Amino acid sequence: MSTSAETTVLSLAQQLQKRVQQFKDHIYQLTIQAAALTNPMPAVTLRLKVKKPEPYDSTGNVQSFLT
């Protein structure tokens, strides 16, 4: 038969094991979050096709051509 002291020790050991498991779970979640922050999913990059500028033909005002 176990005494009151042994029961208390076993109870405390079980509580400690439960708490350690909670910490391990929390560390695992934080590790996943940190990995997600350091390796974000690549964002979709839009590539716009820009028209090639017209060459200046030396006629007219240069400033009006540029604006």
- Distance from C-alpha of 59 to C-alpha of 67, rounded to nearest angstrom: 15
Query: Do 28 and 35 form a contact (C-beta atoms < 8 A)?
Result: no
pTM: 0.49
User: pLDDT tens digits, the chain, 67 residues: what are they?
Assistant: 467 878 888 888 899 999 999 999 999 999 988 887 776 666 667 788 888 888 878 888 888 877 7
Give CA angle at 29 (24, 31), nearest 5°.
90
